[in-house]
A and B are shown apart, each in its own frame.
Chain A
C-alpha cells in the first residue's frame, strides 16, 4: 500500500494504482483524455502531465502511466506541467471545428471541461483544419468525424 504526496497532501492507495487515480482519491482531478478506469492507461494524449518532484521517479511524467510508489512527491501545479497541459489542449483544438453552439455535446462535453481546466483560451492557429469523410454507420448512428480529436480513449 504505497504512500505518496500529491500537491502537499498525503494519500495511501492499493498496490497497482496509478498516480492519476491516486490523485482522484484526494479529489484532485488531473486533466486527461485517453485514460479511463475501464480501459486502462494508454499514454497517448499527453494531457495528464505532472511533475514528479521527488521519490523513485523524477521529472515530467504522465500520471496515468506511472504506478504509485512509496515516497513519491508529485505536483500538478508545477509551471512546466501546467504549460504542457495548456499546449496539449491547444493542439487538440487546432483541428477542432468551432461547433460548440450547434454541437449536441455542448454543456456536457469532456473537451470543453478539459479546455477550461487546461487554461487554453485564445486560438493562435489560423491555418487550415483537417477534415474527414464520415462513414455510413446506418440510420441510427450519425458520425461526425470532423469533431474527433483523436484522443485515443
Chain B
C-alpha cells in the first residue's frame, strides 16, 4: 500500500482531537501569518493559481469563486462554511473536524482576510454534536491566541467566527437554502441569479465554501502552489482529497489520497478489496448523487475531469462499493427513497417526480412492474433532469439515470421474472 503525503490528516490520531499547542508546533497558523503579509487580492490569486477545486461535491474552482466576490465593497459581508454534510456515503468532513478542527478555523481566517469579510459562520449539521463542541473549543483557543477576534496578529483586521447548528436536514446543504436557514427562514432554495456573492446572507455579499476546501487553504498558503499541484497523481490536477470508503469492502475508512489515484488502487489497496472474497460489481464514486462506475472504470483516475468523461462525477469522493451479489435496482430504490424523503417540497419535479420514481422502483423491485413502467421511468428522468429549481433533484437523477444507462437488463429481468433475481 503506497504511503501518500498526508496534509489534512497529517496530525490525525484515532479518538483524539488536536489542540492548539500541538497544531502550532506542527506548523499551524503559518498559513495565516503568510496570508497577512500579502494584500488580500494576492491571497485570492494564490488560491486561484493553486488549482484548488471545491470539495463539497460541485468541484467549482475555489479561486475563481473568490474572484467573483466583491471584496472591496463597503458594508457587511459574510463568509459561510458549509458543514451540512448529509450526502449518503459522505462522512469525510466529520472525520476532519474530529481530528484537526484548527485547519478549518485557520482556513476561514485566511478566507475572511482575502475576501474582507468580518463575520463567518460554520453551518454544522445538527447530528454533528461532537464536531460542534470541538469547533467551539478550537475557536475559543484561536481567539485567546489572537488568531481570531479584533486586530488579529496585530494587522488591524477583525474577524469573528460562530458555529451555527442546523435546524433542518439535507436541503440545508444547498447553499441558498443554507442562507435562508441561517436567517431563520424556511429553508427553500433561492433562485440564482442573484448569486450569494452579490446578494447572500441578509442580502449582503456572501461566500460559501465546504469544510474540506477551507481546511486546505492554510496548507496552500504555507507551502505554495507548486507543492500543492505536485501532490496530485494527475498532472492536470492539484492536491489531495479525503476519500471516505464504505460498502462491501474489507476496510471502510476515510483515507487522504492524491487526486488522480485509480479506482482500482482505492478499492484494492486502501479498501482492502471486496469483503468476503467477492468480486467488485459497481460503486458510487462520490456519494449518492453520482452515477455508478462499473468494472469498466477500475482504471479511471479518481479526479474531477476524468470522472466527468466517464459520465460520472467525483462529488465528495465518498466511495461506496457494491459486490457481485448486489441488486442495482434495490440500491437505486434505496438511494432514491433518500432523495424523495429529503425533497424540500418547493418545486413540482422534485416533490412529486421523485416520489413517482420511488413508486416505480418499488414496483420494479418487487416484481409488480410492466414494460410501461420502464418507459415511464425513462420519461420521469428526462423531465426532471435540468428542470428542477435546485440541484437536489439533479443529484437524485445521478443513480437513476445510471441504472437506466448501465443496468437496463437488470430492470428487464425483474419485470420478466416478476421478482428480484438476486433474492
Interface residues of A (CB under 8 A from B): 43-47, 49, 60, 65, 83-84, 87-88, 91-92, 94-95, 124-125, 127, 150-152
Contact = CB atoms under 8 A, between A and B. Distances in A.
Contact of B348 (A45, A60, A65, A127): A45
30 contacts: A43-B191, A44-B188, A44-B346, A44-B389, A45-B348, A46-B387, A46-B388, A60-B387, A83-B382, A84-B387, A87-B353, A87-B379, A87-B380, A88-B348, A91-B348, A91-B349, A91-B352, A94-B352, A94-B355, A94-B356, A95-B352, A124-B372, A124-B376, A125-B356, A125-B359, A127-B359, A150-B345, A150-B351, A151-B348, A152-B346
A150 B348 CA distance: 8
Given A83-B383, A125-B359, A91 B346 contact: no
Nearest to A45: B348
Contacts of B359: 125, 127
Interface string B100-137: 00000000000000000000000000000000000000
B139 to A, nearest CB: 37
B352 A65 contact: no
A44 B348 contact: yes
Nearest to B188: A44
A151 B345 CA distance: 10
Contact of B386 (A60, A83, A94, A124): A60
A84 B383 contact: yes
Among A46, A94, A95, A125, find the residue whose CB has the most chain B CB atoms closer than 10 A.
A46
B331 interface: no
A18 to B, nearest CB: 12
B347 interface: yes
Interface of B: 188, 191, 345-349, 351-353, 355-356, 359, 372, 376, 379-380, 382-383, 386-389
Nearest to B372: A124
Contacts of B349: 46, 87-88, 91
Nearest to A59: B386
Nearest to A43: B191
A46 B352 CA distance: 12
B171 to A, nearest CB: 13
Contacts of B351: 91, 150
Contacts of B191: 43, 65
B346 A49 contact: no
A47 B387 CA distance: 10
Contacts of A60: 386-387
A45 B387 CA distance: 11
A94 B355 CA distance: 10
B353 A91 contact: yes
B364 to A, nearest CB: 13
Contact of B389 (A43, A47, A124): A43
A92 B352 contact: yes
B193 to A, nearest CB: 10
A52 B87 CA distance: 34
A124 B191 CA distance: 31
Nearest to B353: A91
Contacts of A46: 347-349, 387-389
Nearest to A94: B352
Contacts of A150: 345, 351
A151 B382 CA distance: 21
Contacts of B376: 124
Nearest to B190: A43
Nearest to A89: B348
A32 B390 CA distance: 19
B316 to A, nearest CB: 27
B56 to A, nearest CB: 24
A46 B346 CA distance: 10
Contacts of B387: 46, 49, 60, 84
Ranked nearest first, the 4 interchain pairs of A and B with the lowest CB-CB distance are A91-B352, A87-B383, A127-B359, A44-B347
A97 B380 CA distance: 21
Contacts of A43: 191, 347, 389
A150 B376 CA distance: 23
Contacts of B355: 94
A67 to B, nearest CB: 11
Among A83, A91, A152, find the residue whose CB has the most chain B CB atoms closer than 10 A.
A91
A151 B346 CA distance: 8
B157 to A, nearest CB: 39
Contacts of A91: 348-349, 351-353, 356
A91 B353 CA distance: 6
A45 B360 CA distance: 22
A60 B387 CA distance: 8
A127 B382 CA distance: 21
B352 to A, nearest CB: 3
